[in-house]
Structure 1
Amino acid sequence: MRVLIVEDELLLAEAIQTGLRRASIAADVVHDGDTALEHVSANDYDVVVLDRDIPGTHGDDVCARIAVEHPRTRVLMLTAARTLDDKVTGFERGADDYVAKPFEFPELVSRLRALERRNQPVAPPSLEAAGVRLDSFRQEVSRNGRQVRLSRKEFAVLELLMRADGGVLSAERLLEKAWDMNADPFTNTIRVTISTLRKKLGEPWVIQTVPGSGYRFDGPRG
């Protein structure tokens, strides 16, 4: 899952980004509306966390443009404007969800995951196949009952592969969804992450390499 945070309060933006990364969510940060629109046009974001009162293009106008130009990208307004009229206006401009500041971080993460699911086939929060069980809410993975400790990026990659339901995901797609914009697309990051995942999950390997195409989780979802 990849998120764009649009927030002009620098410390708050950094805190949200850090918290999302700890939840295995790739997060980029911008501080004004114009840069936000540029990033949304250049990247495949699942959700934009959008403050309304930001420099440059106003948050309401950013929301309206995303709704028209990028309909698969969800918008969660995260703002100090908390009256009923404010919320109604936000939804009228195309927001998919609205959270008023101050907020509880676990609720923000849950709402982001709920918005992400709207763009995907219905899938349970827990996935199980080939003896591997992944719980996205508890951030836990096990193989044949044995707990497997994964890094946040390893967890994100495994979740993407399992939710693909046997489909092949390219290294570029995995990098785009599990890392932020600071990731170097020319590194061997994906190859190393896949190799580490295989070792931690153990044999028989459940992540297969498809030459010239990418990787897939070799087992139907249970």
Structure 2
Amino acid sequence: MRLLVVEDDILLGEGLCMGLRKKGYAVDKAVDGIDALNLIESTEYDLIILDLALPNLSGWEILKTIRSYDLEIRILILSAKSLVEDKIKGLDMGANDYLTKPFDFFELDARVRNLLRQKISLEESIISYQSICLDSTKRIVTVNNQPIKLTRKEFGILEYLIRYPEEVFSAEKLMEHVWDGDVDLFSNTFKYHMYSLRKKIAAVDAKASELIHTIRGVGYCLMEKIEEGNQE
């Protein structure tokens, strides 16, 4: 899951990002409203943590803009504005939750998990393709009913592929969903995680690992069969 933290307090923002990354999320950060909107328009996020008092463009304006074209993305307002009127306004404008500062990180983490569970439940929490089964809530993967242990990145890659079977995605698209903005798109990081993912699946079922295809010059997909000559 990829999150965006919009917070102009540098120390607080860095602390939030560090804590959320330790929880397994890919996290980007924006320190003002214009940067936040630019990131939101160019990147697919699962959840946004949004401060209201921001330079250049307020959180209210960001919230209004997002909800004018996207009703699905989860938005958690994190603000020092503690008046009931502000909370009502934020929720009425389309925020999914509202947490006031000062706050406890563990409460924030619980609220983030709750919002992401709601998003997942609208899709499906347990999804499968052939002999591969993934539980996105419990973060468990089984192959032929045998559990396999994946890293966070491996799980993220598989989750994206299994949600959209038989669709081809570039390495850049998969990395955008699983990694945060600091990743080097030209490194071998992705290839290493893809190799490791296939190897772990193959240890249980060699045929299951062959469901993950590399389409030469295009990207990757989860598919039963593919035309000869297209796969590396």
Indicate the TM-score class for this superposition, using the shorter chain for normalisation.
0.7 to 0.9
* CA RMSD between the two structures: 2.5
* Separation in 2, partners of 1:133, 1:15: 35
Amino acid at match of 1:155: F
1:131-159 deviation per Cα after TM superposition (whole angstroms, max 9, x unaligned): 22222222222222333221111111111
1:87-125 deviation per Cα after TM superposition (whole angstroms, max 9, x unaligned): 22113434243334425112322213434x49xxx4321
Query: How far has the Cα of 1:185 moved from its partner?
Result: 1.8
What does residue 97 of structure 1 align with?
97
Match of 2:48, SS state, is strand
Amino acid at match of 2:113: V
The question of whether the paired residues in 1 share the 8 Å contact of 2:48 and 2:76 is answered with yes
Match of 2:186, SS state, is coil
> Are residue 214 (structure 1) and residue 228 (structure 2) matched?
no
What does residue 68 of structure 1 align with?
68
Query: How far has the Cα of 1:181 moved from its partner?
Result: 0.9
What does residue 87 of structure 2 align with?
87
What does residue 123 of structure 1 align with?
123
* Separation in 1, partners of 2:220, 2:111: 32
> Are residue 196 (structure 1) and residue 196 (structure 2) matched?
yes
CA change 1:34–1:213 in 2 (3 A) is same
Match of 1:63, SS state, is helix
Query: How far has the Cα of 1:39 moved from its partner?
Result: 1.9
Amino acid at match of 1:35: D
What does residue 113 of structure 2 align with?
109
* TM-score (normalizing by structure 1): 0.83
Query: How far has the Cα of 1:71 moved from its partner?
Result: 5.6
What does residue 186 of structure 1 align with?
186
After superposition, residues 1-12 of structure 1 pair within 5 angstroms as 1-12=1-12
Greater gyration radius: 2
1:177-209 deviation per Cα after TM superposition (whole angstroms, max 9, x unaligned): 111111122223322211110001111213121
Query: How far has the Cα of 1:50 moved from its partner?
Result: 0.2
Query: How far has the Cα of 1:17 moved from its partner?
Result: 2.2
* Separation in 1, partners of 2:165, 2:173: 15
Match of 1:29, SS state, is strand
The question of whether the paired residues in 1 share the 8 Å contact of 2:148 and 2:200 is answered with yes
Amino acid at match of 1:108: V
1:12-59 deviation per Cα after TM superposition (whole angstroms, max 9, x unaligned): 433432343344432101222232123223323333210112333221
Query: How far has the Cα of 1:73 moved from its partner?
Result: 4.3
The percent identity for this pair of structures is: 35
Query: How far has the Cα of 1:70 moved from its partner?
Result: 5.5
Amino acid at match of 1:199: K
The question of whether the paired residues in 2 share the 8 Å contact of 1:50 and 1:76 is answered with yes
CA change 1:166–1:124 in 2 (3 A) is same
The question of whether the paired residues in 1 share the 8 Å contact of 2:167 and 2:221 is answered with yes
What does residue 176 of structure 2 align with?
176
Higher RCO (CA 8 Å, separation ≥ 6 residues): 1
Task: Please list every run of 5 or more consecutive structure 2 residues that lacks an aligned counterpart in the other structure.
Answer: 225-232
The question of whether the paired residues in 1 share the 8 Å contact of 2:117 and 2:137 is answered with no
* Separation in 1, partners of 2:113, 2:12: 15
What does residue 227 of structure 2 align with?
none
How many residues align structurally? 215
What does residue 33 of structure 2 align with?
33
> Are residue 16 (structure 1) and residue 20 (structure 2) matched?
no
